[in-house]
Structure 1
Amino acid sequence: MSAALAVQAQGLTKRYGRTQALAGLDLAIPAGTVYGLLGPNGAGKTTAVRILATLARPDSGWAKVAGHDVVREATAVRRAIGLAGQHAAVDEGITGRDNLRLVGRFHQLGAREARRRADELLERFGLAEAADQLVRGYSGGMRRRLDLVACLVTRPPVLFLDEPTTGLDPRSRGEIWDAVRELAGTGTTVLLTTQYLDEADRLADQVLVIGAGRAIADGPPQRLKASIGARVEVAVGSAAELPLAAAVVARLTGGEVALDQDGLLVSVVSRPGRETSLPQLVRELDAAGVAARDVALRTPTLDDVFLALTADAAAEEVAA
């Protein structure tokens, strides 16, 4: 495996009964990056993480984490990783400080080093004031942050975060995002699975969209967003203007136009390379005699990428 890759996988497959969870997944995650793994429920995200974390064995294919094979060198992989699952795995009956000390002792740190490491992490991630409170009194965001911090006691070079902000309120999600950015700044490799597209957009250096257990597209968020074009929406004043506006929008964008007869709305996603400007669009509508009530030009988000790519993948699967 290349020294520049913290995680690598080729042809991973996994079946549970009649369900094909993974169907030949490849991964190549550069060291020191935040890598987003995106996909709908059932796409295979958690299965991939379980295999990489040695909690499940692939039916075929291979994977390496920090240079170690996940099947043949499982013990070495476990020493090199941290894992935060979808639910905080902390002991609510003891304090935050004692949770971290317990983790350190479990990983065979000496008592003094476990105390020192716990104190360092609590301070660094904004939990020092609540360190000696029972965890049952923590907010949801604080528990998730403590769970994440517990993964760092042994300084793992690779960290797996499986939907770390599921069910959290916006403030708590922001706290976790800050913690992930802090980790990335120290050189830790983070594999983040999420259904929140804004989360991946803000945090990930690169994302991989998967569906039905296989890769659909990968690349930096900006490149993926540029691949599907901008969305254009034109609201008109009468039904008679709908076809006129549709003709203008189709000519400028090259995309497939959708008409909302009730809302008197024309919308389209432009083809890549056929983006138009708002002033040009307004001029062309005026020239065609369209008195638009509203004209909007919205650059694509990862939500748009996700919906477009997963819809295409689903259509191909049905056709096959």
Structure 2
Amino acid sequence: MIHTRGLTRVFTMKKETVEAVRGIDLDVEPGRLVAFLGPNGAGKSTTLRLLTTLLPPTSGTAVVAGHDVTRDPAGVRSRIGYVGQKNSAGESFRVRDELVTQGRCYGLTVSDAVARAGELMRLLDLEDLATRRPGTLSGGQRRRLDIALGLIHRPDLLFLDEPSTGLDPKSRADIWRHILRLREAYGTTLFLTTHYLEEADNMAERVVIIDNGSIIADGTAEQLKNDLAGDSITLTAHTGQDAARAADLTGGVAEGVTVRVRVPNAPAALPECLRALEAAGIKVAAAETARPTLDDVFLTLTGRSLTDDDLPA
């Protein structure tokens, strides 16, 4: 559904060259749910704009939904849906009219557009809002309308750019419930960005991480966590001196009285670790184990957090 080779995008700003995307090779199979992650300024949004024909590539190739983004952008647009970070609907028409108008823009007949709008309103629980204007809807309701607008023409591939950002936890869960229902109903390929790492961890079948314009990790969430981060053991010592000695013995990192140790299998490694510390005369006040997160994966690869907000855009 997505096939890129050597995809790049270079910007020139104030006579300075910025490589926003650097030679991306990416393949996405039909029907998959792929999360595309990276901190601010990593190249996520630029890559999405390249794949959706909103930006031309500087070099390289991209075939999306069977059409080349450079030679046949209209063909790409006819087979994809795009839900951006901002609201898609206008303020002048009612919800049903917005959907019908969007369907007509994609070439549907009036009757087909009306039928498709009704189908999506049922699936996305928008039927009771059909005569409301978008400006009167809640944030979660507007996002459901945005998704319906992106799906009105039955696209093979739907791009979702941070679909749940800014929503409260209940609305976020509601959006995901509807996204998964739609995927089950239509088998649509989903390619999404999100700042909520637990969403990618729990929902995506595949996670692709980008940093400085290059893909640095690609696999299932479990594969990435097992291969690149590992479990962690957190030890609390009685003194900073004990923590420093424990870190030297275990190969961990001491911060005050806390020691963090990366291991392949924390539950199995913890008893042996505690025995070794006891034999060395190091007293431990508390110990706990934890599975890694996707942020731990990124931290292992780059030395910083995926959720850093102070990176240059």
Give the structure-2-normalised TM-score: 0.90
* Contact 2:233–2:270, Cα closer than 8 Å, also in 1: no
Name the SS for the 2:127 alignment partner: coil
Residue in structure 2 matched with residue 222 of structure 1 by the alignment: 222
Question: 1:81 offset after TM fit, Å?
Answer: 0.3
Give the structure-1-normalised TM-score: 0.88
Amino acid at match of 1:64: V
Q: What's the % identity of the aligned pairs?
A: 41
Which range moves more in the overlay, 193-202 or 28-37? Answer: 193-202
Amino acid at match of 2:247: A
Question: 1:273 offset after TM fit, Å?
Answer: 7.2
Which range moves more in the overlay, 112-121 or 301-310? Answer: 301-310
Pick the aligned partner of 1:300 from 286, 292, 299: 292
Question: 1:181 offset after TM fit, Å?
Answer: 1.4
Residue in structure 1 matched with residue 87 of structure 2 by the alignment: 88
State how far apart, in whole Å, the 1-side matches of 2:271 and 2:180 are: 38
Over 3 Å counting, the alpha-carbon distance change for 1:177 and 1:86 in structure 2 is same
State how far apart, in whole Å, the 2-side matches of 1:84 and 1:179 are: 14
Amino acid at match of 2:179: V
Amino acid at match of 1:294: A
1:100 and 2:99 matched: yes
Amino acid at match of 1:58: P
Name the SS for the 2:151 alignment partner: coil
CA offsets 1:112-133 (integer angstroms, 9 cap, x no match): 2111111111111122222222
Residue in structure 1 matched with residue 258 of structure 2 by the alignment: 265
Residue in structure 1 matched with residue 311 of structure 2 by the alignment: none
Name the SS for the 1:101 alignment partner: helix
* Contact 1:21–1:213, Cα closer than 8 Å, also in 2: yes
Name the SS for the 2:289 alignment partner: strand
Residue in structure 1 matched with residue 212 of structure 2 by the alignment: 212
CA offsets 1:168-220 (integer angstroms, 9 cap, x no match): 22122212212221233231111111222112112211111111111111111
Cα RMSD after superposing both structures:
2.1
Which range moves more in the overlay, 152-161 or 183-192? Answer: 183-192
In the alignment, structure 2 segments of 5+ residues that lack a partner are 306-313
Residue in structure 2 matched with residue 318 of structure 1 by the alignment: none
Question: 1:312 offset after TM fit, Å?
Answer: 8.0
Which range moves more in the overlay, 43-52 or 180-189? Answer: 180-189
Question: 1:245 offset after TM fit, Å?
Answer: 2.3
Residue in structure 2 matched with residue 137 of structure 1 by the alignment: 136
Amino acid at match of 1:191: F
Name the SS for the 1:62 alignment partner: strand
Amino acid at match of 2:164: T
Question: 1:235 offset after TM fit, Å?
Answer: 0.4
1:8 and 2:3 matched: yes
Matches within 5 A, 1:17-166: 17=12, 18-166=17-165
Question: 1:63 offset after TM fit, Å?
Answer: 0.4
Name the SS for the 2:28 alignment partner: strand
CA offsets 1:231-269 (integer angstroms, 9 cap, x no match): 22100112342244224422xxxxxx22123xx111122
Residue in structure 2 matched with residue 234 of structure 1 by the alignment: 235
